[in-house]
Amino acid sequence: MDAGNVARESDLFPGDLLMTTYTLSRVPSAPAVKEKPEALFRSAHAALVYALNYSMQQYDRPLMNKAMSGKPEGEGKGLSGVDGAGQAGMIRAELARLAPLHQAVLVANIAPQQVPCECRAACCGGWRVNPEWSDAVGALTTVSAAAALPGCVSNGRLRSALIQRLLGAKVTLAELAERYDVDEKTAGAHSTKLKRWLFGGPAMQMGLHPEAIREIADRLEACGWIAREPGSHLG
């Protein structure tokens, strides 16, 4: 090492840093992914709850009545007034495209059983049977005699009550058997057959209710109102 190099190196004190210059390179940015608009409803069931309960939401009911009836599941995001009525009408229009029996099972399962009544009669408690729901249950009751219970002698009123029970009514088989004066085993056997007809079972074709849900879910998904996981057939 010559004297010139020694002199230059001696100019550095302990702790001095030798700075290295870096060239910043531009990192290619990933193309922006357009977010898929959020669906209005979580499921076909939620959309039907909204549409079939919409007219009830327009009544200014007391707070206790609202609490007892429960908040409708899956209310449309940001929908109210004319927009809400329009959305409910469009969902109902898709429902009306289904086969009559598919419409009936969905309405019987989801529509409110009672609607507000403003007749002001002394005997009126402020509610009346929802004719839309009643007609749907009646249609299922009529068809079920041959479709679910062929060859059986069945009580129409009992069939109606069993169908309502299978669709969510809080009543036991024992109570229905006593009410309609039939053996509890008979009521149970009829209930089992009606359940297979409505919901299907192992080694059987799909029941009436899941068929209807799948069809309406396909329609509502095509309209962009619900989103489902790939491969899912139920709403």
Q: Tell me the backbone φ, ψ of residue 64, rounded to 5 degrees.
A: -65, -40
Q: What is the pLDDT of residue 65?
A: 42
- Per-residue pLDDT for 38 more than 70? yes
- One-letter amino acid at 218 equals D
Mean pLDDT, the chain, whole residue set: 80
How many beta carbons lie within 10 A of that of residue 217, not counting itself? 21
Environment class of residue 107 by beta-carbon count within 10 Å: exposed (0-12), middle (13-18) or buried (19+)?
buried
- Model confidence over 78-112: pLDDT tens digits? 565 567 889 999 999 999 999 999 999 999 999 99
Q: What is the pLDDT of residue 75?
A: 53
Question: What letter would DSSP give residue 212?
Answer: H
Which of helix, strand or coil describes residue 129? Answer: strand
- Dihedral angle sign, alpha carbons of residues 217, 220, 224, 226: negative
- Model confidence over 157-207: pLDDT tens digits? 999 999 999 999 999 999 999 999 999 999 999 999 999 999 998 776 789
Which residue stretches of the chain are H helix?
3-10, 44-57, 63-69, 81-95, 100-110, 131-147, 156-166, 173-179, 184-199, 208-222
Residue pair 163/213 in contact by the 8 Å Cβ criterion: no
Q: What is the pLDDT of residue 39?
A: 84
Residue pair 138/161 in contact by the 8 Å Cβ criterion: no
Please give the Cα distance from 80 to 77 (Å, whole number): 9
Return the exposure string of 12-48: e unless at least 16 CB atoms fall within 10 Å of the residue's CB, then b: eeeeeeeeeeeeeeeeeeeeeeeeeeebbbebbbbbb
Q: What is the pLDDT of residue 60?
A: 38
Higher local confidence (pLDDT), 104 or 7: 104
